[in-house]
């Protein structure tokens, strides 16, 4: 076969069959979570629909029977339980090494925390420097830490919301990637407010990850810069 025919065949295969050269290595996401996994499910579905130009290559939980693992398996994704070790709130050294190994073996480009309830040690964050993101159910820096929707309700604010941010050594202190408000309504309970916050989470997290996958977000000190295309 002539060189031009070979080239034409290659171009047809790569450009016209819904597959481009850049599709050959998709942006690889590793998701960590401890809970029911509604964010992880939304992210996996956004990858499947093409909203995120990437794929979930592994889902890891520190909780053996967590819903997030079930939801991952139901979507045919690799789902691993790794025991968190002997410390109450953070991964111990052995667990940290196992988490790093699982994520590296899967070749992840981005580590996505989706309701992961353990503090990540410095070694983990250095290994994936600027490549770990989290979603927090409040408008940071207000109400960091646990049950942020309940903190907001107890405080009496009229507006709370959702923050997507890079993860640094502090608790919910990393550079902000995106935020969206959620009104606190008269008669809200912790459950109703959290449910409305989670609806927003399931949109803003996939949208932020899609922009990261397209290389449209850059961290610059405490700021993040979005390249609008
Ligand atoms: C979300 O509300 C998220 O903001 C917080 O943990 C919760 C996880 O929920 N970090 P799910 O497991 O994704 O449903």
Strand 223-226 relative to strand 54-61, pairing = unpaired
pLDDT under 70: residue ranges of the chain: 1-24, 229
pLDDT tens string 159-185: 999 999 999 999 999 999 999 999 999
Dist. CA 33 → ligand 1 center (Å): 8
Q: Which residues line ligand 1 (CB under 6 A)?
A: 33, 35-40, 68, 114-115, 135-137, 198, 201
219 and 175 Cβ atoms separated by less than 8 Å? yes
Closest of 32, 85, 53 to residue 206, by C-alpha: 53
Q: Are strands 54-61 and 27-32 parallel, antiparallel or unpaired?
A: parallel
152 Cβ contact partners less than 8 Å away, ≥ 6 residues apart: 138, 142, 143, 160, 184, 193
Protein residue with least CA distance to atom 6, ligand 1: 115
Euclidean distance between CA atoms 186 and 188, whole angstroms? 6
Instruction: Decide if 179 contacts 162 (C-beta within 8 A).
Output: yes
| Residues 210, 46 contacting (CB under 8 angstroms) | yes
What are the φ/ψ torsions at residue 43 (nearest 5 degrees)?
-70, -45
Q: How many CB atoms lie within 10 A of CB 36?
A: 16
What pLDDT does 229 receive? Answer: 59
């Amino acid at each position: 076969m002539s060189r031009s025919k070979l080239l034409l065949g290659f171009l047809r295969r790569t450009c016209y069959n819904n597959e481009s050269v850049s599709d050959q290595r998709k942006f690889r996401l590793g998701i960590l979570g401890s809970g029911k996994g509604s964010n992880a499910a939304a992210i996996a579905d956004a990858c499947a629909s093409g909203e995120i130009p990437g794929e979930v290559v592994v889902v890891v939980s520190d909780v053996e029977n967590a819903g997030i693992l079930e939801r991952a398996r139901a979507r045919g994704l690799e789902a691993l339980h790794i025991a968190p070790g002997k410390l109450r709130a953070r991964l111990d050294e052995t667990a940290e090494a196992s988490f790093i190994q699982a994520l590296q073996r899967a070749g992840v480009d981005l580590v996505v925390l989706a309701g992961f309830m353990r503090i990540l040690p410095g070694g983990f964050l250095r290994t994936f420097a600027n490549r770990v993101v989290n979603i927090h159910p409040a408008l940071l820096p207000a109400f960091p830490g646990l049950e942020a929707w309940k903190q907001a309700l107890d405080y009496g604010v009229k507006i709370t919301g959702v923050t997507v941010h890079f993860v640094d050594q502090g608790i919910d202190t990393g550079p902000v990637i995106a935020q969206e408000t959620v009104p606190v309504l008269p008669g809200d309970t912790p459950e109703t407010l959290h449910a409305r916050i989670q609806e927003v989470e399931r949109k803003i997290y996939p949208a932020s990850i899609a922009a990261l996958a397209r290389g449209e977000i850059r961290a610059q000190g405490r700021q993040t810069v979005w390249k609008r295309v």
